[in-house]
Amino acid sequence: MSNVDCVDQSDLVIEGLLTTSDSSGDANLSPMGPRIDIPRKKMVLRPFKTSRSYANLIETKSGVFHITDDVNLIARAAVGSINPLPEMVPIIDTDAERLRDTCRWFLLELVSIEQEGERATLNLDILKMGRVRDFTGFNRAKHAVIEAAILATRVGILPDSEITSQMEMLRSWVDKTGGISEHDAYSFLQQFITRKTKSLSPINVR
């Protein structure tokens, strides 16, 4: 049984990609780990209030969540390096669009907001959903890329030594089980972390 099939059977937190747009149609793509309840057609997102995803959802009340096995895309989206966005296609009988290359998608409508804390809790209804292709599954290298992407967003927050140590461990997973896509994604993230670390001089870090 794949991770995607498991989504139908329980209330899980699933890593994927969220597309949103502002009122002018300017689209944004970002990684997101919502809690999904398929039987009740509900989803809960907890974006930072400073994020474009949050602003767009507040403005338009809609978005599309995608389950994908493309960790290279997840890695680049995590550090804001998706330009141009991947190809989008219309969702039939709606004004919304989804990623063409995805495993599953969920069209969402915002129904309520809880504002406490630095993250908002957004409760959404699943209006439509679809399956595009099978989920191929995650090996250790794909998991390593996702963890490396999270580390890349923590530069300046976690100690450099901790990030370096964890990246070295993750490299061994990629070397042992990764393909071309996973090696490319890991190298991209390592270069990003190196550049960002060097840009944070001691005078700028508190």
Q: What pLDDT is stored for residue 8 in this prediction?
A: 52
Write the CATH number for 90: 2.30.110.10
pTM attached to this predicted model:
0.86
Residue 148 sits in a domain of what CATH number? 1.20.58.290
Beta strands in the chain (DSSP E): 12-13, 16-21, 27-32, 35-37, 42-45, 62-67, 88-90, 97-99, 104-114, 121-131
Counting every residue written for the chain, the total comes to: 206
Same domain for 52 and 73?
A: yes
pLDDT tens by residue, 104-151: 999 999 999 998 888 999 999 999 999 999 988 789 999 999 999 999
196: domain range?
140-204
Q: Could you give the number of structural domains in the chain? A: 2
Per-residue pLDDT at 10 = 56
List, for residues 29-81, the tens digit of each pLDDT value: 999 999 999 999 999 999 999 999 999 999 999 999 999 999 999 999 999 87
Tokens of 114: 């809880």
Q: For residue 122, which amino acid is it?
A: L
